[in-house]
Amino acid sequence: MQKFVLKVILVTLVLTALIGAGVFWWNNLRGSKPAFSPSREKITDVLNTTGMPLALPAGFSISVFAKDLGAPRVLVEDSEGNLLVSIPSQGKVVVLPDKNADGTADTNITLLSGLNQPHGLAFLPSDSSKLYVAETNGVSVYNYDAKNLKVSNGKKIITLPGGGGHSTRTLQFRSDEKLLISVGSTCNVCKETDEKRAKILISNADGSDLRVFAAGLRNSVFMAKNPKTNETWATEMGRDLIGDDIPPDEINVIQEGKFYGWPYCYGKKVHDVTFDKSAASKQTCETSIPSHVDIQAHSAPLGLAFIGNMWGKEYQGNLFVSYHGSWNRTVPTGYKVVRYKLDEQGNYIGVEDFITGWLQTDGTALGRPVDILIKNNNTMFISDDKAGVVYLVRK
């Protein structure tokens, strides 16, 4: 009898766990197929001279600049016009020269290997021979030879908390050559115990005087400088597991010493009562900095880039943002590059799709756009860590 009771209890526990897992999957993961499942076709096989199956505005073209890169992420340009790309999953930084300027990388040269999830890349503005690389646990600077495409004399200048729920570390130099470093949270939503997590840090170019620049930022993976105002703008991915349409992802204008709400609130200072219902956390929300722009929840905004006048007055001063695409939404969203129209002061006017077509009707995705780099010679580069390519967009 006792064995029978134990068996019933065990079966009940297993069934309860299976039902719970099924409910969780149905509520949170049934729309994750585009993010994690392979597509029926490779973008390199189906992308044709007219851009199809990707759709762009009239007058624009898109092609594959480099392929077979694994999962490329951050893009930067060296002093000779060569493209550098970080590949965290392979522990590498590569350079993609196009010496004959035919719109296709001549080769794929590994600059650095054996790194710990390298992500952020940046050149010192006053000395383009200084290449900064952010691994998940620190920042190093290297001597970079743009003529011979080699690096040497790497030196770690900053130690960071490694890994965690968000392992990417991103870099941006301000006009005064102070270095900004984005470090995501360890979790979906929690009270961090590490003072360097869920923040943007700042240091001198030599790594000294490391301190907090802005806080309450769950995962601001990419940053860009607004050329009109010199302000740093950053994309922000909101928390998961509270619904299809909340909380919004965000674009924030990063100000020194400010708190942007996470984990207590999101968007326009909306109190996250599913995490903390207390009056104290509500008050904290009321004193936080609201988002500059709210984005459809779970779009997963990553790379962002401002454009000058290379595409004419219609696009001048606009902001382009990559939506990496959802996994925690029943109906997938994102998987595209959008264009934000801004006024002279940088205020949001409207948004429209710029490149679509990665998300397929069969529930798979041909790719997931990541970073955006705009060059002055009428070109835009976009990395794609699902398709393993870098695209070239021209007008």
218 dihedral zone (left: phi>0; alpha: psi -120 to 50; beta): alpha
Question: Do you find a cis peptide bond into 263, omega within 30 degrees of 0?
Answer: yes
Q: Return the closest-CA partner of residue 88 out of 3, 169, 24, 175.
A: 169
Q: What is the pLDDT along the chain (395 residues), one digit of tens a residue?
A: 666 556 656 755 655 555 544 545 545 666 789 998 998 899 999 999 888 999 999 999 999 999 999 999 999 999 999 999 999 999 999 999 999 999 999 999 999 999 999 999 999 999 999 999 999 999 999 999 999 999 999 999 999 999 888 999 999 999 999 999 999 999 999 999 999 999 999 999 999 999 999 999 999 999 999 998 999 999 999 999 999 999 999 999 999 999 999 999 999 999 999 999 999 999 999 999 999 999 999 999 999 999 998 999 999 999 999 999 999 999 999 999 999 999 888 889 999 999 999 999 989 999 999 999 999 878 999 999 999 999 999 99
| C-beta of residue 327 within 8 angstroms of C-beta of residue 335 | no
Domain 31-394 has CATH 3.40.50.970: no
Q: Helix, strand, coil: what percent of the chain each, to 5?
A: 10, 35, 50
Measured distance CA(200)–CA(93) in Å, rounded: 23
Strands (E), 208-366: 211-215, 223-225, 232-236, 249-254, 265-266, 270-271, 293-295, 301-306, 319-323, 336-342, 348-355
Measured distance CA(119)–CA(255) in Å, rounded: 23
